[in-house]
A and B are shown apart, each in its own frame.
Chain A
């Protein structure tokens, strides 16, 4: 078990280093940060001065080493656009996005698991077909459009939930629904397939022969086994929720990391964009690591094999 976790940890670390390099290089080669700060038609003198002030006249590898080592000590650099340390910006906005992501995941679980289980227990009936219909539709609905439709409906027709801002928990209900809906198809399909497989397996037949029926059989025997792959996918989906927050936060005017990302891009604020891409990637890497460890802890076959 320890060896397995150490191995996973090693891969996660290597990915983190590779991604920090890629994000830094991609955005640095694609644009000249000095022009981004000064604006396209700034005078050459101003550009030179900005290069010197921000240390942009040094070789790119030196700047990467500087950036990466700064990150290790919690120094994420200075935002040109917000005139603040990027670390402070991120720390300020992260709790909002975390709350939104967790609520979004809760929505996914509340819709996808019951639907998937019901569909698996009644294969090829109208319930199964309805669940499949929900999955196919949810996969094709543009997320930002669903958000706008929710706003139109709830602002005018059913004014139950606020549609803009992040002042109270009620403000998060609609955004969480929109964010959560995007993961429903994947989680629902996986739950259904896993459940069908388990229900056809030998140990369920044995349990049936021993007299287990209905809810007891499903809860105590089938569900526990069918949930193994679902748990790891849920962890990965939580990682996706963070990057999905860009659209949801923009539409519902929530001041989290996603909205910060869009505003920083539109303001050509490369240091902030770099850090945000890296932070989102790291959330994903951590969630993946957590999923691997959880799976190994729950399924002895994995850590021994």
Chain B
């Protein structure tokens, strides 16, 4: 197994050693080089911090949430958040129209967003990477066929199609994950196809062919491992895109259904009273923004850190 990107990083590490002539050469392995770049990349650290914090929130939601996110209480409807007049620490971010603790609903909402994000981005990855490696490796007719699929998929109005399909099939978390995933594979395809085309021409593939490796072995053992960095970068971006897609679907009423605490759905519910209780709309939006910014910063950072040039 040959790691193309790693050898590149190793070459750069060697260069870095040669550059410093008067001091003793610091032993830089590719891993250390990447870690060194990560240590200097503030956007990446900020994004990773946000993402890890929100993943932890999702995992430990029952321990963190002060109340049950589903329990309604007519006596405690529309309590204001603690910084407003009449707010109490009992409900730090107030309650919604059904008297449910808003902080607890926001905390449980991370589970839905992250489940849809990771699930859909994974489905899209399987479709896109498979098509990309196959069309890049075989080229010719296969490539033309895949290219046609790509052109057709890009033309389809994704949100509208997802709305129609979720509504017809019946809205549930699994249906939303499946449909959002099936509609978001084009970015993976475009990147892995051109990368595979480049890798195919490099000597280690020819060497592998000469030793009698089958096409399947070459694609899965030689080419795929060298695409992992790029796939990782796209995955983080698609994570954000899928999370926003779920929020939009739920907001429009054709995604996650009540009483589940999806952030998009919470914004739709808060919309009815947004002039008098604006925090019901503002808070879930900030949560969505933080999560997606976190994912995108990690994506930008990963691209800078893992590409051989280090930046741009």
Enumerate A251-284 residues with CB–CB distance to B below 8 Å: 261-262, 265-266, 268, 273, 276-277, 280-282, 284
Contacts of B240 in A (CB 8 A): 139-140
B278 x A247 contact (CB < 8 A): no
Q: How far is the CA of A88 from the CA of B297 in the complex (A)?
A: 46
Q: Is the CB of A277 within 8 A of B289?
A: no
**B156: interface (CB < 8 Å):** yes
Could you tell me the distance in whole angstroms from the C-beta of A253 to the nearest C-beta in chain B?
12
A: contact size bracket = 35 or more
Q: A14, A26, A246, A282: which contacts B165 (Cβ < 8 A)?
A: A26
Could you tell me if B148 and A15 are in contact, using CB atoms closer than 8 angstroms?
A: yes
A209 CB within 8 Å of chain B: no
A144 interfacial by beta-carbon distance below 8 Å: yes
B260 CB to closest chain A CB (Å) equals 17
Is the beta-carbon distance between B293 and A30 smaller than 8 angstroms? no
Task: Give the B interface residue count (CB, 8 A).
Answer: 42
B253 touches A266 (CB 8 A): yes
Query: Which chain A residues lie closer than 8 Å to B264 at the CB level?
Result: 142, 144
B289 touches A247 (CB 8 A): no
- CB of A174, distance to nearest CB on chain B (Å): 15
Q: With a CB–CB cut-off of 8 A, which chain B residues contact A242?
A: 157
Give 1 or 0 for each of A23-46: 1 = CB within 8 Å of chain B CB: 100110011000000000000000
Interface flag for B269 (CB, 8 Å): no
Beta-carbon contacts under 8 Å, B252-307 to A:
252-254, 264, 267, 271, 274-275, 278, 281-282, 284-285, 288-289, 292-293, 296-297, 300
Contact B148 A140 (CB under 8 A): no
Residue from A19, A148, A247 in contact with B155 in the complex, judged by beta carbons closer than 8 Å: A19
Instruction: Decide if the interface of chain B is mainly helix, strand, loop or mixed.
Output: helix
Q: Is A62 an interface residue (CB 8 A)?
A: no
Main SS at interface, chain A:
helix
> Chain B residues with Cβ under 8 A from A261's Cβ?
160, 163
- Asked whether B267 lies within 8 Å of A265 as measured between CB atoms, the reply is no
Q: Among the listed stretches A79-87, A111-119, A149-157, A214-222, which one makes contact with chain B, having 4 or more residues with CB under 8 Å of it?
A: A149-157
Q: Which of A247, A265, A281 has the most CB of B within 10 A?
A: A265
Within 8 A of B (CB), among A53-112: none
A155 touches B275 (CB 8 A): yes
Instruction: Tell me the smallest distance from the CB of B236 to a CB of chain A, in Å.
Output: 12
A277 in contact with B164 given A11-B151, A288-B155 (CB within 8 Å): yes
CB of B161 within 8 A of chain A? yes
Alpha-carbon gap, A140 to B157, bound state (A): 20
Would you call B79 an interface residue if the criterion is a C-beta within 8 Å of the partner chain's C-beta atoms?
Answer: no
Contacts of B251 in A (CB 8 A): 142, 144, 247
Shortest B119–chain A CB gap in Å is 19
Quick check: B300 and A280 within 8 Å, CB to CB? no
Tell me the bound Cα distance from A20 to B152 in angstroms: 10
Pair A277/B274 contact, Cβ less than 8 Å: no
CB-defined contacts of B165 to chain A, threshold 8 Å: 26, 30
- For window 188-208 of chain B, which residues contact chain A by CB distance below 8 Å? none
> Does A145 sit at the interface, judged by CB under 8 A?
yes
Alpha-carbon gap, A31 to B148, bound state (A) = 27
B126 contacts A by Cβ under 8 Å: no
Chain A residues lying within 8 Å of B112, measured Cβ to Cβ, are none
A1 within 8 A of B: no
Q: Say whether A225 faces chain B, with CB atoms less than 8 Å apart.
A: no
User: Separation in Å of the B241 CB from the closest CB of chain A?
Assistant: 9
For this complex, 27 residue pairs linking A to B, each with C-beta atoms less than 8 Å apart, are A11-B148, A15-B148, A22-B156, A23-B161, A27-B168, A136-B296, A137-B293, A139-B296, A140-B244, A142-B267, A142-B292, A143-B244, A144-B248, A144-B251, A144-B267, A145-B281, A145-B285, A148-B274, A151-B274, A156-B275, A247-B159, A247-B252, A250-B252, A261-B160, A265-B167, A277-B160, A284-B154
Q: Give A residues with C-beta under 8 Å from B.
A: 11, 14-15, 18-19, 22-23, 26-27, 30-31, 136-137, 139-145, 148-149, 151-152, 155-156, 239, 242-244, 246-247, 250, 261-262, 265-266, 268, 273, 276-277, 280-282, 284-285, 288
